[in-house]
C-alpha cells in the first residue's frame, strides 16, 4: 500500500492546487463554486476507491435533499470534510477560524459560506454562529459540525463540546448524528491509506433536551454504540 498511498497523496495535494487555481474565476458565483467543490470531492473519493481499494458504506434513512438539517458528526480524518460535499446538495461546515487563512482552501470555504469559529471569543462567537446556522437551516442547507472539536487519532469517540447544544437550543431543531469510521482507511498523522471499508451512517435524530449534560451524553452514547458495532 505504500506506493499506492504515495500516488494517492500526490493526486490529493496536486488536485487541491490544480482545481483551486484553474477554477478560481468560478468564485464569482456561490453556485459555480459549489459545483466545482462537489466535482473535486467526487474526484478524490473516486481515487480513494479505485486506487487504494477503499469502500464506502453509506446508510441514510433520515436526511433528504432540499431540506435543512443540523448535523453532528464524529471526526476521524480529512475524508469527513470531503464526503458530504459530494453526497449532500447544499452543505456548510462549522470550522475553526484559522482555516480561513489557509491559501486556496480558505478562499473556497469562505465562498461556500462555511461558518468560522473564533475560539478566543467563545460566548460571543457561539451566539453569532447560532444566528448564522439558523439562517442556513431556513435556506435548506445541511450544516455540519464536528462536536469533538478535532480529529481523533484512534477509532474512538471523543468528548462532545457544548457548542452543538447551544446551537440546537437557539435554532430549536433536531440534531442528526452521523457516525463515520474513516480512521480505518485514512488515519490521522500518517500518509498511509488502507484498503478497508468506511462506514457512514446517519443515526436517529436527537430532540432538544433542557439539560446540556443529558444532551451531550446522549449524542456521545449514540455515536459510541455505533462505533462498538464497527469494531
State the cell numbers at 217.
Answer: 451524553
Q: Which residue has the cell 458530504?
A: 84
Q: For residue 203, what are the domain limits?
A: 2-229
CB neighbours (10 Å) of residue 219?
Answer: 23
pTM, two decimal places: 0.90
pLDDT reading at 54 higher than 90: yes
**Domain CATH code at residue 120:** 3.40.1130
Q: Are 34 and 90 in contact (CB under 8 A)?
A: yes
Q: Is the pLDDT of residue 123 over 70?
A: no
Distances in Å between the alpha carbon of 157 and those of 64, 70, 97, 179, 183?
26, 19, 23, 9, 11
Question: In total, how many domains does the chain have?
Answer: 1
Residue 231 above 80 pLDDT? no
- Least confident residue range of 58-72, 92-106, 201-215: 92-106
Q: What digits encode the pLDDT tens for the residues 165-207?
A: 999 999 999 999 999 999 988 887 788 889 999 999 999 999 8
Which residues is 4 bridged to in the sheet?
none
Most distant CA atoms of the chain, gap in Å: 52
Residue closest to 157 by CA, chosen among 136, 175, 179, 172? 179
The total number of residues written for the chain in this structure? 231
Amino acid at each position: 500500500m505504500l506506493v499506492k498511498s504515495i500516488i494517492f497523496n500526490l493526486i490529493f495535494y496536486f488536485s487541491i492546487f490544480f482545481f483551486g487555481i484553474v477554477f478560481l474565476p468560478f468564485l464569482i458565483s456561490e453556485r459555480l463554486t459549489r459545483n466545482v467543490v462537489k466535482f473535486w470531492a467526487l474526484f478524490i473519493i473516486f481515487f480513494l476507491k479505485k486506487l487504494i481499494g477503499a469502500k464506502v458504506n453509506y446508510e441514510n434513512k433520515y436526511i433528504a435533499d432540499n431540506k435543512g438539517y443540523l448535523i453532528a458528526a464524529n471526526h476521524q480524518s480529512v475524508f469527513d470534510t470531503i464526503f458530504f460535499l459530494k453526497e449532500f446538495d447544499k452543505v456548510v461546515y462549522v470550522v475553526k477560524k484559522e482555516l480561513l487563512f489557509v491559501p486556496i482552501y480558505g478562499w473556497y470555504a469562505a465562498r461556500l459560506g462555511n461558518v468560522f469559529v473564533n475560539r478566543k471569543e467563545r460566548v460571543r462567537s457561539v451566539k453569532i454562529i447560532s444566528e448564522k446556522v439558523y439562517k442556513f437551516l431556513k435556506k435548506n442547507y445541511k450544516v455540519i459540525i464536528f462536536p469533538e472539536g478535532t480529529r481523533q487519532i484512534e477509532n474512538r469517540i471523543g468528548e462532545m463540546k457544548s457548542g452543538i447544544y447551544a446551537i440546537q437550543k437557539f435554532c430549536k431543531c433536531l440534531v442528526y448524528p452521523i457516525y463515520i469510521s474513516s480512521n480505518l482507511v485514512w488515519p490521522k498523522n500518517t500518509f498511509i491509506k488502507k484498503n478497508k471499508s468506511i462506514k457512514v451512517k446517519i443515526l436517529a435524530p436527537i430532540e432538544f433536551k433542557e439539560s446540556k449534560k443529558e444532551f451531550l451524553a446522549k449524542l456521545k452514547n449514540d455515536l459510541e454504540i455505533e462505533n462498538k458495532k464497527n469494531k
